[in-house]
Amino acid sequence: MTPTLRLRTAAAAVAAIALVAAGTAALLAQPELHLIPWAYGIPPVLAPGQKPAELPFQRPEGELTLPGSPAKLTRAALTDMTNAADWWPEDHPPMPPIVKNGRKPGVSACGVCHYPNGKGKPDNSAVAGLPEAYFIQQMLDYRDGTRKSANPKKGNAVQMGQFAKAMTDDEIREAARYFGSMKYTPWVKVIEAAKVPAHIYFGQLWVKVGTESTEALGNQILEGPEDTARFEGYRDPRSGFVAYVPPGSIKKGRELATTGGKGRTVACTPCHGADLRGIGPVPAIAGRSTSYLGRQLNDFRTGARHGAWSGLMKAATEKLTDEDILALSAYAASLAP
């Protein structure tokens, strides 16, 4: 027992234990937090008997090559969690071992999910160009559980917590230095459209399968690979993403981000910069994935993400509606990184 506890009266101790027990029960129950389907890559509900849609192309097998790349890779090599596949070694400095190979036990190679160039996929995150201090703080938040996804079923976000717990401080510093040394360059094309080509849900993303804009987008964002074959067939880290957003959302987002929208939020620019490219340790949000940004805003709003620095995001997020989150995500993603 700690000295403070010993000084307490018996009644206080009983009350304290009851509180702890209630806290544990609440934690075990994983309270359902509000989610935004497009931001969390939540699969559509299928009608009884309906099968999930299949990708409209055959994945290439055997020895894979890409024009201009020195690499020859197999399909299995593309997702080897102990050896990040590297199509374009000239696009980045040499990967430190933790990024290239991860470390047993418990740490997968960062370069597989986030790509060797750090630009990542919408279902994970772009880590290229993040300030080192910010990067390190995020890993500490993942480690102590104060940064979580509002969606406890988001397996790859749960894994981030596990990696952070298994990593040494030196490994965290090395990864932060490596990814922080690279520039994040344009990666997501934001297109305003009321009607969009047909998409199917695949692996937390939306994959374009139609050629004509025949489907109503509605009040959501659809974000997916610009070239499905290069993305899904080759995991090519030079092949970016497209986000379809409802008409008018960029302008609405700009209004909120620059003025605070008459008290709905606060202006983002004093902290993230006029162009949202970050200031000092405050991260850049310009040109990043719409669904990543939407998830983070909701994670702050619900309190699932409440790390050491997250208090600074409280006033910006606590009163946001889902529509505000859509508009802010569309606007920030549309800016040049």
- For residue 281, give both structure tokens: 């340790």
In sequence order, which residues have a C-beta less than 8 Å from that of residue 305 and are 6 or more positions away? 141, 146, 147, 148, 149, 150, 296, 299
Counting contacts by CB under 6 A, is residue 182 touching ligand HEC? no
Binding characters for ligand HEC, 193-232, by CB under 6 A (x = yes): ----------------------------------------
In sequence order, which residues have a C-beta less than 8 Å from that of residue 163 and are 6 or more positions away? 102, 106, 107, 108, 110, 142
Angle at 234 between CA 230 and CA 239, to 5 degrees: 40
- Least distance in angstroms from the C-beta of 223 to ligand HEC: 13
Question: What Rg do the C-alpha atoms of the chain give, in angstroms?
Answer: 21
What part of residues 20-79 is at the interface with ligand HEC (CB under 6 A)? none
d(C-alpha 148, C-alpha 79), whole Å: 24
Query: Considering only 9-17, 59-67, 123-131, 236-244, which stretch makes contact with ligand HEC by CB under 6 A?
Result: 123-131
Task: Report CA-CA distances (Å) from 314 to 30, 39, 121, 125, 299.
Answer: 22, 19, 26, 21, 11
- Rule CB under 6 A: choose which of 95, 160, 333, 335 binds ligand HEC: 160
- Rule CB under 6 A: choose which of 95, 221, 316, 333 binds ligand HEC: 316
Counting contacts by CB under 6 A, is residue 115 touching ligand HEC? no
Binding characters for ligand HEC, 83-112, by CB under 6 A (x = yes): ---------------x--------xx-x-x
- Rule CB under 6 A: choose which of 115, 135, 184, 234 binds ligand HEC: 135
Tell me which residue of 203, 242, 251 sits closest to 221, measured CA to CA: 242
What part of residues 270-299 is at the interface with ligand HEC (CB under 6 A)? 270-272, 282-283, 285, 292-293, 295-297
- For residue 101, give both structure tokens: 């190979």
Query: Considering only 24-32, 207-215, 219-227, 269-277, which stretch makes contact with ligand HEC by CB under 6 A?
Result: 269-277
- With tokens 């010993």, the residue in question is 6
- Rule CB under 6 A: choose which of 161, 180, 307, 337 binds ligand HEC: 307
Name which of 196 and 313 has its Cβ closer to ligand HEC: 313
Counting contacts by CB under 6 A, is residue 128 touching ligand HEC? no
Task: Report CA-CA distances (Å) from 325 to 31, 38, 219.
Answer: 22, 11, 12
- Least distance in angstroms from the C-beta of 214 to ligand HEC: 31
Counting contacts by CB under 6 A, is residue 245 touching ligand HEC? no
Which is it for the CA torsion 46, 51, 53, 55, positive or negative?
Answer: positive
Per the CB < 8 A criterion, the answer to whether 317 and 268 are in contact is: no
- Footprint on this chain of ligand HEC (rule: CB under 6 A): 98, 107-108, 110, 112-114, 124-125, 127, 130, 135, 137-139, 149, 154, 156-157, 159-160, 163, 167, 175, 256-257, 265-266, 268, 270-272, 282-283, 285, 292-293, 295-297, 305, 307, 309-310, 312-313, 316, 328, 332
